[in-house]
Amino acid sequence: MSQNLYVVVHHYLLGCQEPKCWFVYTKEEIQSDEMETYLVNHKYHEDLLDVHQLEQKIWTLDQIINIKPITGWTPRFFLNGNGFRFEKYIDLFRLFGTPRQPYQNLHAHDLNKKRVQLERIFQSLKYQDRELIVFRSQRHGLNNWDTLGVYSTGLYHVKKDIMRCQINGDCNIRKEHEQERIKERQMEGGPYPKPPEWDKVKKRLEELLKNTKPGSGFLFDPITDKSYNMTSKEERKKLYKDVTGTNNT
């Protein structure tokens, strides 16, 4: 039976170690009073949550080709940790034969141009007879990607409680390690910068995104409030100088 599944991701920031930010939820769970309260109140460095929907169903080839990309992150880590079964990972750079380069125009990966190859791949998964989770994930910038991911239900429903106990334990371990690192830096008297004012950071990011041309990119340091246009040679020199404290000739 087809169903919608849900994950929660902070709008701007990744890295929150609250276990509830790592679960995959059913529709009934995401609409529960407990989760509605969590979605409204939980923040990570003042950053609120977004809910993202994943579809598990029998897909048509046209639906796969026209799927809306997820930008900037991938749900595969959520699916792996919650017991879903990995089926296929399709690197679209490899499929299209395009060398991976920083700040590429990923719109060049028009899936309609690879219908025959994609149908062959999905037929090998017997996609017309199986309910699968299919998603396209993209990231622009220095470390970019463009992929199709395919998962099936696996152990999600059968061992959900066990998987969530494991996620709880993993998150607690990471929290403890982070607290230890903070204490070590404080004891060493090393620099531990004051947390940024995230409302101002969000406004600054929105300004940069608005004024950035498609296909280009930038780096932004919220601590120093400095940004760099990475398509400009002069801006890259400026970044090198600021990071290393030297001149790049």
pTM: 0.76
**173 inside domain:** no
50, two tokens: 């977004």
Q: What is the pLDDT of residues 188-243, one digit of tens each?
A: 765 555 667 777 777 887 787 777 765 566 777 776 778 877 767 787 778 777 77
Q: Verify that 73 and 158 share a domain, yes or no.
A: yes
Q: Verify that 135 and 236 share a domain, yes or no.
A: no
Q: What is the pLDDT of residues 34-65, one digit of tens each?
A: 999 999 999 998 899 999 999 999 999 999 99
Q: Verify that 61 and 130 share a domain, yes or no.
A: yes
In the prediction, which pLDDT does 124 show? 97
Under 8 Å CB-to-CB from 151, ≥6 apart: which residues? Answer: 76, 79, 84, 85, 86, 87, 132, 133
Q: Verify that 147 and 62 share a domain, yes or no.
A: yes
54 by Cβ neighbours in 10 Å (0-12 / 13-18 / 19+) ranks as buried
Q: Verify that 62 and 147 share a domain, yes or no.
A: yes
In which domain, by residue range, is 131 found? Answer: 54-163
**88 inside domain:** yes
Q: Verify that 131 and 208 share a domain, yes or no.
A: no
Is 154's pLDDT higher than 90?
yes
Domain count, the chain: 2
